[in-house]
Structure formats: structure tokens, C-alpha cells
Structure 1
């Protein structure tokens, strides 16, 4: 068997009678195993060149796309005491429906006739404003009358001054005439006295001339007195003219002072009216806030304040409402290292809580039970958890999201990136490299630009 000797035993001994020999002979089973192993290796090699969709996963939550469609709480604008409930949890309310009624708890608003009394105060102050307006108009008319009276008095005083000046001029002329008459009378008397001494005239003629001389002297003195009196009249007329302006300025200052005082009171009254109107408007609006109304149509999900007679603070949360109509979106958070990989319009696959799914993350086309979405918005700053927030809306090209899906449900998001060979993805994962940043379209554009 070992061919040590040249003498062969072949043909004399049947080797298949020995178990050890039979075990050394290759069987068909071994060859089958080898072929299977080769097929597996070949399949694994082919598998390395299959396309693989790069991705990363992140947890999210279903929300509404628009802020007004998200669940909201109804607040009380004013503090008060709960008097009556009009709804209960689970009720559907239309926009403007009454949720509850509260009563006033602040003493300055407890007067049941507060609005009417405030309205009376406004009316009284408005009448006060009108009275001040009439007073100002009367003082303006008084100013016009004073100005007209001052003009007339000045004209009268000017005329009187002119008359006095003319009287002075007339009296001056008369005085000069009397002086001439006195000079003539003195000369006539001297000639008469000379003729009397010569015996040519009688004593009677001399005495007659003396009388005329005395009369001329008296007329001259009278003319001088009259001239002085006329001059005094001029001075008096001048003083009166100046006194008219002074008197007018005094009266004008007094009337203006009264007018400005009335204006100040009018402005104060108008300010008070404005303040009272503001208070009246505030009271009117406040009276309408005793009924808490639904801001939009939706379902009452939870009553935060309960009971009758309990007091609530200003701005306190009363009930939460889920809007009737809303557009679904998923709010998900990603790490800063993944932010450069995501752009608006990128596709995201979701696994929603309650919907079974079979997921092949690298081959999304083979996955079942997932739903498509597109990135709608990306925050430009990190949230409180040091992650960036994404808003993802349903993909119009994919199957619509389930109608039974509700806000608040959990969502497992798979962000789909570039398509690369499996060997490249394994090599990337082993080296800890991030997924490719550029999309295939961008790579082709860059190649075209280089050419």
C-alpha cells in the first residue's frame, strides 16, 4: 500500500474490507460541501458590490406642521372664581363656544354698576371739556372786543391830542395878536399922554386910552392863560394816550391768563376723559372675559382646573384643546455630526409606533411597513438637548401616512443618504468615517465642472 516493495498486493486483497481505508477515500458529500462553500464565497463577493443606501437613525415624535394646529392650552386672561362649566373632557367645541364662566374676585371690579357709573363720569368730564371750550371762545371774543375798544380809544385820544395841539397853536396865535394889540395900545396911550400934556387932548380921552391899554393887558394875560391851559390839555391827552396802551396791556394780560388757565383746565379735562374712556373700554373688555371661549374648533382633551368655586390666577391654564384639523409632521432630533448630511427635501423613512414593519435599512425598497417623508425645515440652532431639530412632512410621492396616526405618537426615523457599494460601507464603518456628504447628483456636477 505504501509502495515500498515492488511486489504489489493489488488484486489479491480487497482494501474496501478495511474501515480505515474506506474513511480515507473522498466521498460525494465532501465535494458537495466544497461546492457550497465556494458558492457562499462567490455570493459574498457579489454581495460586496451590491448597492447600499447609507443612513442614520433618530427617534422622533408626531406633531403638527403649523403651530396653530398643535395641541394648546386655554388660559384665563383675568383672575377669577370658577362658577360654571359648559364642557367636559372629550367634548368637541366650535371656535367661540363657551368653556366656563368665572366671576370677579378683585374688589375694584365688583361694583355691578361699574360700567354705567364710569360712563356717567365720562359724560360729566365731556361736558366739562365743552364748558371750557365755550369759556375759551368767550375769552377770545373778549380779546377781540378789547382790541377793538383799544383801537377806538386810541383814535379818540389821538383826536383829542390833535385838538389840543391845534388849540395850542390857536392860542399861541391869539397870544401874539394880543401882544401886538398891547404894543399898539401902549403906543396910543403914550401919544395920547403926550397930546394931553400939550393940552391938545382932554383928560377923558387920556383915561379912555388908559382903559383900552388895561383891556389889552388883560386880554394878553388871558391869552397866555389860555395857551398854558391848551398846553396842559396836550400833556393830558398824551398821558391819556399812553394810559390807554397800558390799560389795554393789563386787561389783555389778564384775559390771556384766564384763557390759558381755561386751556390748561380743558387739556386736563380731556386727559381725564381719555383716561376714563380707556378705563371704560378696559371694564367693557374685562366684562367679556368672564366667559372663557374656545380659540378654535377642536376636542377638549384635559381639564387642568377643576371644581366649582375654586379661584384661578391671571394667565392660569384651564383646559387643553386638540385642534380638529391639522397637518401631520414628525419632529425629530439629530446629532450635530449628522447635520451636514441633511438638507431640506431629503427623504426620511419612518416606523410609527403601533404599525409593524420589516426594515432593511440599507435597502429601503425592500422594507415593508415604513412610510416616507421629506425634510421640511431644519433649525439653525441647537435645542435644549444639544441636538438639531428637523420637521419632516409626508412625502407626496409615497404612500400616505395612516389616518389613525395621532399627534404625540413615537416615530423611528431613518434618514436615507447616498447609494454606495456594500464593501465601501463596511470599510467606512470599520474606519469610523461619516457617511458621504455629497449626493450623487452633486458628484456628477463636480465632475462635469472639472471636465
Structure 2
């Protein structure tokens, strides 16, 4: 305080108090001073003891693998509950029947549905075979038409050749007849001249005239033959066109019938595949009326009860807990602590209901804790605002209790760096995070 007054502060030394002087001379007071001094020195010494930094978390006991966790048994199809074969708490093996349901959809109520579908499949297969035979028959017919067309065309070509040869022969005969006409005309003129001179009788003239007329008649007949041969050639060419058109029409019709048969065959095959698919689906559906256990385990709870109740597809009917599983612990850590933990790090775990004495900073002297190893860290935040960490038992330490139940509570401590106690108190008071775990150094040492 400010010394602005003339009044002087009295001397408040303990030497002026008789009571204090009396107490200082007494032995208990001296012992108390020594105790206080010793405790202070001990407290200061404790501040320099090593303290293991850690990240605490709380969670529950679970299984290491997803297929070992409690699961629900669902109905793949909708139906009506007809009979239960188990009750809660029963042990079932894989494939054991849980319950039986009956059909409620009118499309599947026919008791002979599978057999009728199989008969339809067989009938359609027979239709496919018939279409295949028809396609083969039409292919053979098409081949016969092509062969017959080839023969007809060869025959028509031969007729054309014959017509050409006949025209040539008739042309030669016409030339020969023209030569005969010239000769007959010359002989007739010579005979007429000789008759005028009196050297030939009139009968020779008449004979030569008759012969000339016969040759002229031969010329006309031969010309008619030549024209007829040319007409035959034209007819032969027309016959080729007719044969080509006729057999092209027959082949087109046969090919059209063949393609129609192929189309019907492919359509029948598609229907066969569809019916086979339906047959397989109906057969599989018949096996789904009996709902069976997917693995060995215990029936925990029946979610549907009674007889005659209807369930939809995908409805959970009962829950089963697998009988064989590997135990683990799932715990949750704050987002600020997530960068400090890594896979493979050591963790101390203690379980609810087990006697435990825990010294978070001195894990070696804790009692009732078990060793664990981090095997998985979730990268997406959970609904509770923390990150999920999966911990498996540490194989190098004592085994976890077999009596643990899935879902029971558990507490965890992820062990980090070793620091003095005073440093840890200073860190907590200032709200600083723990020292970052040197994962790279650890990995390097493990490699060495």
C-alpha cells in the first residue's frame, strides 16, 4: 500500500507475540514444521516423476469381424408365419430351420407352379427343335432350287447353242439353194436360147423351167427355215430370262420362309430362356419358405411372434448371436485426439464389472487392465461427435476374460509419450494437446 500517512505501521514480527514464541519452543510444533517441509520436498520431487500421456475413451465390447456380430434373420420373400421351430435362447447350427412361412401372393399360390413351368419349358424346347428342323428343310429346299435353276439354265444355254448352229446350217443351205437357183436360171436361159436356134427341143425348155421353179420354191422354204431358227434363238434367250425370274422368285420365297422360321426359332429360344429363368426363380422361391440360420449361434430374440402374421420381404424376424467370435472393443475419441493415434499402437482396456485400479499415467502399476492393439480407425465422424476406434487383444499380453459379454461397457487408455508430471499438469492447465506420437521413429526402429 502507499505510504502517504504520517502514521507508522507497527512492527508485526512474530517475535513480539508471546504465544508464537511459546509454540516455537515446543516439540510438536517443530515436528509439524518438519512434516510440512518433508511433504513439500516430496511433492516437488513427485513433480519430476515420469508420467505417460494418454487419450481416454469409452466404448463397448464388440467382435473383431463384422460376420461375428449379432445379426438379424430376415425373410427374403413376403409370407405368412405358419410354424416356429426354435425359441429364444436355443442354439442352432448353420442351415437349421428357424420357421416356416406360406405364400400370400396370388401369382405363386399354384401348388403345381414349378411343375407346370417345367412343362412349358419342355414344350417351348420342342417348338425350338421344330423350327430348327424347318430351317434345315428350307435350307435343303433352297439348295434344290438353286441346283434345278442351274440345270435349267444349262439346258437353255444348250438350246441357244443349238439355235446358233441351226441358224448357221440354214444359212449355208440358203446359200447353196441360191447357188442352185443361179445354176438353174443359167441352164434355163441357155436352153431357151438353144431352143430358139433349133438345137434343143421345147421339152427341154419346159424341163428346165420346172427345175427353176423347184429351186425358187426351195429358196422360200429355206428362208422360212432360217427365220424359224432365228426365232428359236430368240425363244431360247427369252427362256433363260424366264428361268432366272422363276427360280429367283422360288428362291426368294424359300429364303423368306427360312428367315421367318429363324425368327420364330429365336423367339422360341428367348421364351425358353425366360421360362427357364422363371422355373429357376420358382424353384428357389420354394426353398425360401423355410427360413434357415446363416451360421452357428444362439437365438437372442424373436422380433415377430405368433402364427398367421404376415411379413414383408426384408423384414427382420429374429436376431442371432454367433457362437464363435473374436472379441474386440470399440471406443470413441475426440476429434482433437484423432491425429495422435495410429494403427498398431498399444492401448490399456478395463471392463465394466471387473475389479480395477487404474493409474492413468502409470499403466505398469494399474490393476485389472488388459492390453490391446488398435486395428482400425474410422475416418468418418460418428453421430456422437467422436471417431470410432476398434481395438483387438494384444497377443503379447494376458488374454481377455472369456466371460465378457458383447455390448458390455469398456474404458480405454491410448498410451502416448512419457513426460514429467509437472509438464503434464502445465499442459492440462493450459489446454494443450498431448505430445504427438512419433510414428515414423517407431516404424524405423521396428524395421531395424
Question: What is the TM-score normalised by the length of structure 1?
Answer: 0.92
Contact 2:47 2:421 in 1 (8 A): yes
Residue aligning to 2:397: 398
Residue aligning to 1:297: 296
Contact 1:418 1:440 in 2 (8 A): no
Alignment of 1:245-394 (within 5 A): 245-394=244-393
1:24: how far off? Answer: 5.8
CA distance in 1 between counterparts of 2:392 and 2:329 reads 7
The verdict on how the C-alpha distance between 1:444 and 1:128 changes in structure 2, with shifts beyond 3 A counting, is closer
Residues matched between the structures, number: 428
3-state SS in 2 of match to 1:262: helix
1:198: how far off? Answer: 2.1
Residue aligning to 2:36: 37
3-state SS in 2 of match to 1:68: helix
CA distance in 2 between counterparts of 1:39 and 1:320 reads 63
Residue aligning to 1:6: none
CA distance in 2 between counterparts of 1:174 and 1:47 reads 149
User: How far does the alpha carbon of each residue in 1:228-278 deviate from its partner, in whole angstroms, 9 at most, with x for none?
Assistant: 000000000111112221222111111111110000000000000000000
CA distance in 2 between counterparts of 1:296 and 1:221 reads 112
| Structure 1: gaps of 5 or more residues | 1-18, 447-451
Contact 1:417 1:439 in 2 (8 A): no
Residue aligning to 1:5: none
More off after superposition, 244-253 vs 24-33: 24-33
1:40: how far off? Answer: 0.6
The verdict on how the C-alpha distance between 1:54 and 1:22 changes in structure 2, with shifts beyond 3 A counting, is closer
CA distance in 2 between counterparts of 1:243 and 1:21 reads 151
Residue aligning to 2:234: 235
Contact 2:55 2:333 in 1 (8 A): no
CA distance in 2 between counterparts of 1:349 and 1:68 reads 26
CA distance in 1 between counterparts of 2:443 and 2:176 reads 132
Contact 2:23 2:29 in 1 (8 A): no
Contact 1:87 1:100 in 2 (8 A): yes
Alignment of 1:114-125 (within 5 A): 114-125=113-124
Alignment of 1:93-242 (within 5 A): 93-242=92-241
CA distance in 1 between counterparts of 2:432 and 2:441 reads 20
Contact 2:357 2:366 in 1 (8 A): yes
Contact 2:341 2:437 in 1 (8 A): no
User: How far does the alpha carbon of each residue in 1:417-451 deviate from its partner, in whole angstroms, 9 at most, with x for none?
Assistant: 111100110111121110000349839989xxxxx
More off after superposition, 62-71 vs 353-362: 353-362
| Structure 2: gaps of 5 or more residues | 1-17
3-state SS in 1 of match to 2:348: strand
CA RMSD of aligned residues (A): 1.8
1:125: how far off? Answer: 0.5
Residue aligning to 2:25: 26
Residue aligning to 2:82: 83
Matched, 1:73 2:72: yes
